[in-house]
């Protein structure tokens, strides 16, 4: 299972990459595989302020619908518009083209509270 070393992870299977004071967020390859074929992604509006663990959108697959949660508090500064026409990017490229939102983090140090790759691998192994 693909678990990039340079990302941080949540128990809800979101990944986060820190770029300066911004966080790029998506769901892990494990989550995408468990969901099956993604058919729709609902993302938040630009400028929305989110608290940590707040639902920010919905991912729908052929199997189910799941909430997407904010791994850290922040303001939505970008959404991946490509997912409106190509939600399958979440399955084919979860860590690249399948990213979902960019947040301007309230506290960049909050990323340290998330799991590293080794801890996430352990959490999904069980």
Q: What is the pTM of this model?
A: 0.95
What is the percent of the chain with per-residue pLDDT over 90, rounded to a whole number? 95
Q: What is the mean pLDDT of residues 70-86?
A: 97
Report pLDDT digits (tens) over 26-50: 999 999 999 999 999 999 999 999 9
Instruction: Give Cβ neighbours of residue 77 (< 8 Å, ≥ 6 apart).
Output: 22, 46, 102, 103, 104
Q: Is the pLDDT of residue 67 over 80?
A: yes
Residue 65 CA to its chain's centroid (Å) = 15
Nearest Cα to Cα of residue 14 among 64, 79, 59: 59
Report pLDDT digits (tens) over 80-90: 999 999 999 99
**DSSP reduced 3-state for 109:** helix
The reported pLDDT for the residue numbered 31 is 96
The reported pLDDT for the residue numbered 65 is 95
Q: Is the pLDDT of residue 1 over 90?
A: no
Residue 1 CA to its chain's centroid (Å) = 17
Instruction: Give Cβ neighbours of residue 4 (< 8 Å, ≥ 6 apart).
Output: 15, 95, 117
């Amino acid at each position: 299972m693909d678990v990039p070393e340079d990302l941080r992870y949540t128990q809800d299977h979101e990944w986060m990459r820190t770029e300066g004071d911004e966080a790029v967020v998506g769901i892990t390859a494990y989550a995408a595989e468990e969901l099956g074929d993604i058919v729709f992604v609902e993302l938040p509006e630009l400028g929305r302020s989110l608290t940590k663990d707040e639902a920010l959108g919905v991912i729908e697959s052929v199997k189910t619908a799941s909430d997407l949660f904010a791994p850290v508090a922040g303001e939505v500064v970008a959404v991946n518009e490509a997912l409106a026409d190509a939600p399958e990017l979440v399955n084919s490229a979860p860590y690249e083209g399948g990213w979902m939102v960019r947040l301007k983090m309230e506290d960049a140090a909050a990323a340290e509270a998330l799991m590293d790759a080794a801890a996430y691998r352990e959490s999904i192994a069980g």
